[in-house]
Structure 1
Amino acid sequence: MASTVETKEIVGDLSAGEAKLYDRQLRLWGVEAQQKLRATNVLIAGLDALGAEVGKNVVLTGVNSVTLLDHRNLTSKDLPGQFMAPCDANGQNRATASIERLSSLNPNVKVSSVEKNLSDVEDEFFNAFSIVCVIDYPLEIVNKVDIICKSKGILFLSADTFGSFGYMFTDLGESFKCHSEHSKREKDGSETKTVQHHEVSFKSFQEAVPFGKFASADCLGQKQKTNKVFLLSLLKDDLVTSNLKADDLELLVDRLADLGTKYNLAPDCLPFSLLADAAFDQMKGRAEVAAVLGGVIGQEIIKIASRNDKPFNNFFSYNAVNCVANVVTL
């Protein structure tokens, strides 16, 4: 019979109730990692389907607090992917409508909401958080918040989904220290554990990607050129406007060709083949893409908070059409 974690090991840090609740997690990553998680305060800005998945995964890990921020109200496009909001919450604020269900998943985690536009909050607002995760916001706002977080030493992630695709970007600063453990079974049946210490450098969003402009085709590295989901995510805000929706496929193809000319990008690196499956506006609530990407982001937040294992550096993309994921170091 499997034994539970001894309460005496964690007196003064985790309660007996927490030890029981997090028993499986304590077996996976240990008491010290769980203590670090419990001291972590997370901001999730953007409560679409992906934000709901990330919120669920983060609350279940047992962090200290999760703050939900969004200025937008729920529409039919958010459902059913935004499962943290009740079905009858249409028209309500996306963050506030998600509090009750998220809180019920883990009463040990403080869950609150802020009904503000991320672009309007003061720099000091971010001081309360260890990790900031920005979802479903334009790249200009992603860049702005990353600059603020980097100046304050706050760990930063951003993500978005569009149709059958999604991405995550991570900026953990110039010197992120973590460790990884490896076990080896000896011939006599004993187990030997070794610990490796790592110091990883992350580029900022502005440093890592050709933000808003491409001076020449050479400014995209070869890996970035071949990762068309990455390129599509960078061009998404330019491709989709209030006058051009994803169902205007022929116009979308023309717009992408124009952007290629504008940014001096080679035609063979442009993601024409992905446009039909991108369906940017109509499929914002695709639950299967949000579930996969939300699981990855939840796992990355565990790594970041606990300092166990090396996080992805910097860009993770997911292509649900081919079930392919890539990590691109920018």
Structure 2
Amino acid sequence: MALEQAMNISKDEIALYDRQIRLWGLEAQERMRSSNILIVHMSAVSDEVSKNIALAGVGSITVLDDSIVLPEHLSVHCYLQDDDVSRPIAQAMASYLKALNPRVSIIPDVEPIEEKPDTYFANFDVIVAADIDIDIMIDLNNKCRDFGKAFYGTQSFGLFGYVFADLNEYTYSIEREKANVATKPGPETSTRSIVSVNVKRDGTQVKEVVTKIEKYKPLDVVLKHPIDLSVHLKPRQLLKVSPVLPTFYAMRGLKKALFENNLTREHIQEVCTNCARALGLPAGIITPSYVSNVKLGFNTELSAVASVLGGVLGQNILNYLARREQPIQNIAIFDGSSFTAPIYCI
């Protein structure tokens, strides 16, 4: 591999990131290297995301969080130590992330997100909001759309969690063996179209590079206009839809009940069942055992769940920057009670 092809990537960086350069190529690694990522609020999931993208060699990670490290944070944030108590959490996490990969610029920002001007968010390529108020998340998503930036929202609660993606209009390429039936440009699904197909030879193999475009919906549209899954799925398939999906729609009501100290099993059952019906799902998927698990862990983060969600989200951010592989369209669910992680287009 000639160093001239490496653009601005040094010989040491080529050696350090050799595995992913072989997977994605130098051009993709250069895009990662020049990218600026914003993490809004440090949670167990965003800890994992930050670690994964730092080790992959992104350009910069800005940690935006105005909270202070409390003793209870030590059991959630795997990098924090006793000495970090009373420090700004953004500064504490920045220190540990910098130690993971000194080549990545880590920038702590302790100003409240509400005080940031809209133009602040134009400086980033990808913005991740972790476990923040749903209305703030919607507002942030809309700002990302205004500036053409990728947005991810995530939250974990007990055994469950989700990753929501709004990449606006995202163009990417997939390289694969050429099939016997020619791939033609045009619509592939309701959200995805094939833009172009280029055939190339790789030794004895004939491959095709398929360029696609995905179109996304913002979070506020998704929440205001639930998709009727009964139109798209058979009755047997509806029964297999994860109950975490209607819980995602119920999140505003559940958090309000938690704030008002009224998060009872009966309330969870009612709100989640109503959201399931709005999605065209049978009410029976919201079982008493599921409701009990939500009640037990709603305000709790588990490191094992965060590790899975953080891995999924971190990898999708890298795929987005590399413009390779199929992105999340548009919500990935993790259900720790059944060890499943389906993706739904909603």
* Fold shared per TM-score above 0.5: yes
In structure 1, distance between residues paired with 2:324 and 2:75: 34
TM-score, length of structure 1 as denominator length: 0.85
Would the alpha carbon gap of residues 219 and 14 (structure 1) be closer, same or farther in structure 2, given more than 3 Å must change? closer
Which residue, 171, 176, 188 being the options, matches 1:182? 176
Moved more, 105-114 or 262-271: 262-271
Give the deviation of 1:61 after TM superposition: 1.2
Alignment of 1:68-217 (within 5 A): 68-173=63-168, 175-183=169-177, 190-210=204-224
Aligned CA RMSD, in angstroms, stands at 2.6
Moved more, 79-88 or 129-138: 79-88
CA deviation profile, 1:232-278 (whole Å, cap 9, x unmatched): 13323422423437xxxxx6222124436876756435464323223
Match of 1:248 in 2: none
TM-score, length of structure 2 as denominator length: 0.82
Give the deviation of 1:210 after TM superposition: 3.0
Does the alignment pair 1:221 with 2:216?
no
In structure 1, distance between residues paired with 2:160 and 2:9: 39
Q: Confirm or deny: 8 A CA contact 1:239 1:252 kept in the other structure.
A: no
Would the alpha carbon gap of residues 117 and 233 (structure 1) be closer, same or farther in structure 2, given more than 3 Å must change? farther
Match of 1:311 in 2: 327
Would the alpha carbon gap of residues 257 and 207 (structure 1) be closer, same or farther in structure 2, given more than 3 Å must change? same
CA deviation profile, 1:39-81 (whole Å, cap 9, x unmatched): 2110011111111100001111111110001122233443333
Does the alignment pair 1:234 with 2:229?
no
In structure 2, distance between residues paired with 1:325 and 1:20: 34
Moved more, 111-120 or 304-313: 111-120
Match of 2:309 in 1: 293
CA deviation profile, 1:173-216 (whole Å, cap 9, x unmatched): 1x21110111479xx983333211101111111112237xxxxx
Would the alpha carbon gap of residues 142 and 282 (structure 1) be closer, same or farther in structure 2, given more than 3 Å must change? closer
Matched residues, percent identical? 26
In structure 1, distance between residues paired with 2:147 and 2:101: 29
In structure 1, distance between residues paired with 2:285 and 2:252: 18
In structure 1, distance between residues paired with 2:172 and 2:139: 26
Secondary structure of the residue aligned to 1:71 is coil
Aligned residues: 310
Secondary structure of the residue aligned to 2:132 is coil
Match of 2:190 in 1: none
CA deviation profile, 1:136-160 (whole Å, cap 9, x unmatched): 1021111110111101101111101
Give the deviation of 1:89 after TM superposition: 1.5
Would the alpha carbon gap of residues 191 and 105 (structure 1) be closer, same or farther in structure 2, given more than 3 Å must change? farther
Match of 1:253 in 2: 265
Q: Confirm or deny: 8 A CA contact 1:7 1:16 kept in the other structure.
A: yes
Unaligned runs of 5+ in 2: 180-201
